[in-house]
Structure 1
Amino acid sequence: MKRTVLATILAVGLTAPATAQQQVDMELMTYPEIAAAMQTGKTTVLIYSGGTEQRGPHAVLGGHTLIARRASVEIARQLGNALVAPVLPFSIAGGHLNPKWPGSVNLPGPVFSAVNEAVVDSMVVNGFKSIVLMGDHGGGQRELEDLAKRLDQKYAAKASHVYFCGDLYAKTHDDVDGWVKEHGLPPATHGGIHDTSLLMFLGGDSYVRRDKLVAGDSPVPPGQQPDSTKPRVDNGVTGDPRPATSEFGKLFFDIQVRNAVAQIRSLIASAPKAAQ
């Protein structure tokens, strides 16, 4: 028995350093571990904005942040040369501020940009050479893209490059929307099958109240106005989350990660060698 216990202790001790080496989430690393990771080539850092906003009566408010934390780590691991900065829990979400649906937090555009700029500035000082901005929420995509262009020029002389990974959001939503339509499922833009399936996959009943799954207002096609003769549901959902499943969520998660990894690799590969 003693020999078995000793063998177990030794096995744990031998695997602990490997676990530390595999860690990519900077919040869970010490500064010597971050320095060691950078010395071995992890000079890319992901700055991922989540968000805190209502997602209907069935889904927790931190959905964007919870998705961002898991997706960012998986993206970094697949890239192989990246670490993850602490995920930002707020975004531009003014459209969801409503006392009927309490809890949402909005950062005005200039504030959102300033916060992300401060994080980028910090990462440049820390020594990262490739800095990737991305957001899980539709609000803030344009701001992040504009910021990346400006900061890329600002830090060019320091051999640091700043990118915007827009495919994480835009291409993923296009891909998922196409898949949903192809499979005859109801379209959604907020709190519907896409968001809800992701949260079911990542957190199950901790993130989704299944007994509260109800349809919301139908999405309005671009360029059109809502039907004024039709009563609004007005429950914070646009679409129908009821067909959502964790299996769909796994598929959508993989699409999101794959799109981000592909674009980040392409962006870095096209940059000057000194900035990689």
Structure 2
Amino acid sequence: MRLPFFTMMALLLAGTRADAQPNAAKAAPPVFIDELTWMEIRDRMLAGTKTAIIGTAGQEQKGPHMVTGEHKYVLTHTTERIARTLGDALVAPIITYVPEGSWEAPLRGHMAKAGSITLPEDRFIELLVHAAKSLRAGGFTTVILIGDSGGNQNGMKAAADQLNAAWKETGGRALFIGDYYTKSAEDIRAYLGKLGFPMEAIGSHAGMVDTSELLFVNPALVRRDRLAPSGGSPDSGVNGDPTKATAAFGKALVQIKIDNALAQIRALRATTGGF
């Protein structure tokens, strides 16, 4: 049955008005370099974006309840937030191959578990230096090094020292942001301690802290049916009690990392001529 003429016109006008309404908030432009074309990166640099963030994660066991890429997923979230807050930074692809021990027998630590991948310290430093020099050649004047794992910290500092020595008098700077990990680890323990959690629950690996952070940034990657204190067995790879983890805690803990990183970046920029 055909609709009356005036009914049809009313529907058409209503549809036109609806189409004319602005869409929901337009998605913010990407800050990850690998999500941009080279011309888009060039244009962002011409508009004042001269800082590149290199994040180092880790490909390592995270107990029976978390995926081995936990550090990468957390760092993807935090580096994006840091870059967007700074307003003049882009994020390089996350580096996941980092020092995790040796592949030679007897295997120890994370390397004793399937799926962990290690890189010798000297090769890790070399990788960082070459990545940073590549970004510098492309026009970035500042490279920020941030790591989400304890084993990455010394190598990142060494790489930053090498880069600053090589870039002396050229206007380039490398900033190692150790507070993201070291200061934050202390602040997180203090925060959870004040809430009444003992150190054996907080843990040092794949326990309450790591699990809370992943529950916040990507909960689908936590196997909730495998949560157990100390991972459920002596050889689980877990130190702490992941059953105490929540996404709400994860949100607070991730924010501690972001805030500490931003504070150190701003302080270092203020003492290096604004780079």
| Same fold per superposition (TM over 0.5) | yes
Gaps of 5+ in 2: 1-10, 102-108
What residue number does 2:65 align with?
A: 58
Q: Is 1:97 the counterpart of 2:111 in the alignment? A: yes
What is the identity, as a one-letter code, of the residue corresponding to 1:245?
T
What is the identity, as a one-letter code, of the residue corresponding to 2:171?
A
CA contact (8 A) 2:129 2:162 kept: no
What is the identity, as a one-letter code, of the residue corresponding to 1:34?
I
The whole-number CA distance in structure 1 between the counterparts of 2:164 and 2:88 is 19
Paired residues for 1:1-276 under 5 Å: 2=12, 19=27, 22-94=29-101, 95-98=109-112, 101-185=113-197, 186-204=201-219, 206-216=220-230, 233-273=234-274, 276=275
Post-superposition Cα deviations, 1:1-31, rounded to whole Å, max 9, x if no partner, equal 5556666666679976xx46x3211111111
The whole-number CA distance in structure 1 between the counterparts of 2:120 and 2:17 is 56
TM-score by length of 1: 0.86
CA contact (8 A) 1:130 1:268 kept: no
* Structure 1 runs (4+) greater than 3 angstroms displaced: 1-16
The whole-number CA distance in structure 2 between the counterparts of 1:41 and 1:9 is 35
Return closer, same or farther for 1:216/1:40 CA change in 2, 3 Å cut-off: same
CA contact (8 A) 2:142 2:173 kept: yes
| Root mean square deviation of aligned Cα | 2.0
The whole-number CA distance in structure 1 between the counterparts of 2:166 and 2:15 is 56
CA contact (8 A) 1:216 1:234 kept: no
Gaps of 5+ in 1: 218-231
What is the identity, as a one-letter code, of the residue corresponding to 2:235?
D
Return closer, same or farther for 1:267/1:9 CA change in 2, 3 Å cut-off: farther
Return closer, same or farther for 1:189/1:14 CA change in 2, 3 Å cut-off: closer
The structural deviation recorded for 1:156 is 2.1
What residue number does 1:221 align with?
A: none
* Secondary structure in structure 2 of the residue aligned to 1:46: strand
- Residues matched between the structures, number: 254
What is the identity, as a one-letter code, of the residue corresponding to 1:104?
S
Give % identity.
Answer: 34
The whole-number CA distance in structure 2 between the counterparts of 1:196 and 1:81 is 31
What is the identity, as a one-letter code, of the residue corresponding to 1:253?
V
The whole-number CA distance in structure 2 between the counterparts of 1:235 and 1:14 is 45
CA contact (8 A) 2:59 2:116 kept: yes
What is the identity, as a one-letter code, of the residue corresponding to 1:168?
Y
The whole-number CA distance in structure 1 between the counterparts of 2:94 and 2:128 is 11
What is the identity, as a one-letter code, of the residue corresponding to 2:183?
K
